[in-house]
Structure 1
Amino acid sequence: MNNIGNVVSINRSSQKGVVKIPIANGVFIDDFGLKEDAHGGVPIRQVSLLGLESIHKMEDQLNKSLPYGSFAENLTTEGIELFTLPIGTILKIGETIQEVSKIGKECHKGCAIFKEVGKCIMPVEGIFTKVIQGGMVKAGDTIIIERQ
């Protein structure tokens, strides 16, 4: 397994249940998540991550490309098979330190992707972290598995 990956996109939304919009960089706050994101502050699901590899699976099924943030992920990543990381794994992402706190989630009712394809990848292959040490994260930043 790769111990190093990259941030492809940072995505944020001001309300829950909608697609997130890519932003140039994000400020991540200790024990909160992404500043000005609707999901910030949720104890076990402060930051959501989804691998580009997982997104490509859905794009293949839909036969079209999807913009970053389509699955409401805060961080679109590549290079690490995120859903195989055990809870408690420590990740250095840009200037931040984050701890894997949850694997997968319940799918929102009325999810646009679910309506179109009949399933969504986030409940199975998305992960969540809590922010241990805040800081800036931007597209292109490295993700390093510090400890599993």
Structure 2
Amino acid sequence: VDVVSKVVSIQVGQVRAWGAEFASASQEAAETTAIFKTAVAGPVEAKELGLAGDQQADLRHHGGRDKAVLGYAAAHYSLWKQEYDWPELEYGGFGENLTIDDCDEQAACVGDVYRLGDALLQVSQPRQPCGKLNRRWGRSDLVKLVLQLGRSGWYFRVVQPGLIAPGDLELVERPHPEWTIVRCHDVFLNRKSSQRREEARELSQLAPLAQAWKEDLDADL
């Protein structure tokens, strides 16, 4: 499969407490987060549970083998900056580990296997952004906008651990070209509607789909 994208930046982050500057009337609860990511030049070891030096605070909703590495389209950054007067937004601002050029939610498909450095990464599911993204940027509507605009990002599992660095992201396998990230997300979010039930059933049977998504789909079918 002759498709090559490019990882333009790699980010990792450690668990930290929210500072007072991130509190608001509706979000006063003390909590921890690892949404703040810092760029690293590489090489970085991609392991089964994520990148070396990267952590997740909420292990119930983040991390694990099916959500080891988060990818986000580099092209979205210029759009966010232009559309929402957001000059301070930089790569990693959406909490992603890999910022990727020439690939987005309309191109990446569940089951895709990519080679990056010595590692092989497989697309497992769309990212479902949580409220911490709103709090990170002080924008109460950000998660809603991310979903409306189809700029969610997507998760990889690490099927072959190895060292990675910014550079070519080579597609080596695409078993389900019909199941783009944007379609998966649309079907998942509308899975209870009678019009999407058959698609939701088909999606739930995809072998590479993250186990948590399979369970959620099966519970509603």
TM-score of Structure 1 vs Structure 2, range by shorter chain? 0.7 to 0.9
**Separation in structure 1 between the aligned mates of residue 89 and residue 170 of structure 2, nearest angstrom:** 26
**Separation in structure 1 between the aligned mates of residue 101 and residue 63 of structure 2, nearest angstrom:** 25
Alpha-carbon contact 1:103-1:124 (below 8 Å) kept? no
Partner of 1:60: 82
Aligned positions of 1:24-35 closer than 5 A: 24-25=41-42, 26-29=44-47, 31-35=48-52
Partner of 1:136: 163
**Partner amino acid, structure 2, of 1:10:** I
Partner of 2:98: 75
Q: CA RMSD in A?
A: 2.3
Structure 1 stretch displaced more, 67-76 or 57-66: 57-66
1:14 aligns with 2:14: yes
**Partner amino acid, structure 2, of 1:22:** A
**Separation in structure 1 between the aligned mates of residue 82 and residue 36 of structure 2, nearest angstrom:** 19
List alignment gaps of at least 5 residues for structure 2. Answer: 16-32, 57-61, 175-221
Partner of 2:197: none
Alpha-carbon contact 2:12-2:37 (below 8 Å) kept? yes
- Give deviations 1:26-84, integer Å, cap 9, x for gaps: 2111x211012113851221100001111222111232152221111000110122453
**Separation in structure 2 between the aligned mates of residue 22 and residue 98 of structure 1, nearest angstrom:** 19
**Separation in structure 2 between the aligned mates of residue 48 and residue 135 of structure 1, nearest angstrom:** 16
Alpha-carbon contact 2:121-2:160 (below 8 Å) kept? yes
Partner of 1:86: 109
Aligned counterpart for 1:125 among listed residues 121, 132, 152: 152
Instruction: Give how far 1:89 is off.
Output: 0.9
Higher relative contact order (Cα pairs below 8 Å, separated by 6+ residues): 1
User: Secondary structure at the residue paired with 1:60?
Assistant: helix
Instruction: Give how far 1:104 is off.
Output: 2.3
**Separation in structure 2 between the aligned mates of residue 75 and residue 134 of structure 1, nearest angstrom:** 15
Partner of 1:104: 127
After the TM superposition, list the runs of 4 or more consecutive aligned residues in structure 1 that deviate by more than 6 angstroms: none
Instruction: Give how far 1:138 is off.
Output: 1.4
Relative to the length of structure 1, the TM-score reads 0.84
**Separation in structure 2 between the aligned mates of residue 12 and residue 73 of structure 1, nearest angstrom:** 8
Relative to the length of structure 2, the TM-score reads 0.58
Instruction: Give how far 1:124 is off.
Output: 3.9
User: Secondary structure at the residue paired with 2:92?
Assistant: coil
Alpha-carbon contact 1:100-1:130 (below 8 Å) kept? yes
